[in-house]
Amino acid sequence: IVTFKITISFIALGISGKSQLLFALVFTTRYLDLFTSFISLYNTSMKLIYIACSYATVYLIYMKFKATYDGNHDTFRVEFLIVPVGGLSFLVNHDFSPLEILWTFSIYLESVAILPQLFMISKTGEAETITTHYLFFLGLYRALYLVNWIWRYYFEGFFDLIAVVAGVVQTVLYCDFFYLYVTKVLKGKKLSLPA
């Protein structure tokens, strides 16, 4: 959605380049298993689409439509996310191997990667409606996994504590936005915050 939005509007205004850079890093470190294991054609396709879209979005923001990118409001310090997340992925993981640590890093980083975008909206006090749709579906994507994990726990005995805890954290971070989306955007109003 975000790649599409920038492509058709020719502007990167209102989109956090820092969040998009973090997502590119998330998908790159998560999907290194493209080289080591095959799950399904669907799984492989989606991984490639996520990686391609995240890099395309970064290219659009920082290269093609750089003049329209609102960097002055994109001031979240990403090192405050990357450094602790990097440390934690070395300390708490399923297996102390390079691929597994990178996978863990990507799971932890994804859970907080939206913070620069939410911070940017809180600074500017508004967001375009299509940007709110993007954020809603990005949040919903992980929130639905919570339901899926309960299902898989009961019916397959599958349980991944790292993914579940990170997924809960990620979903909680979206809660305030979900509230605004339902009470404002779904009622036809633009998302604007009181000054």
Partner 1 sequence: SMELAKHDEL
Report the interface residues with partner 1, using CB under 8 A: 30, 33, 37, 39, 43, 46-47, 50, 94-95, 97, 100, 103, 145, 160, 163
Q: Are 51 and 35 in contact (CB under 8 A)?
A: no
Please report how close the Cβ of residue 39 comes to partner 1 at its closest, in angstroms. 5
Closer residue to partner 1 in complex, CB, 9/44? 44
Half-sphere exposure of 66 (CA within 13 A, CB side): 4
Name the 3-class secondary structure at 191. strand
Closer residue to partner 1 in complex, CB, 40/72? 40
Please report how close the Cβ of residue 150 comes to partner 1 at its closest, in angstroms. 14
Q: Which of 90, 92, 116 lies closest to 20, judged by CA? A: 116
Please report how close the Cβ of residue 24 comes to partner 1 at its closest, in angstroms. 15
Q: How far is CA 169 from CA 108, 146, 174, 182, in A?
A: 9, 11, 9, 20
Please report how close the Cβ of residue 58 comes to partner 1 at its closest, in angstroms. 19
Closer residue to partner 1 in complex, CB, 8/38? 38
Please report how close the Cβ of residue 76 comes to partner 1 at its closest, in angstroms. 25
Closer residue to partner 1 in complex, CB, 47/133? 47
| 113: phi then psi, degrees, rounded to nearest 5 | -65, -20
C-alpha–C-alpha distance, residues 71 and 67, integer Å: 10
Closer residue to partner 1 in complex, CB, 33/128? 33
Closer residue to partner 1 in complex, CB, 70/100? 100
Name the 3-class secondary structure at 94. coil
Q: Which of 113, 111, 89 lies closest to 101, judged by CA? A: 89
Please report how close the Cβ of residue 171 comes to partner 1 at its closest, in angstroms. 15
Name the 3-class secondary structure at 189. coil
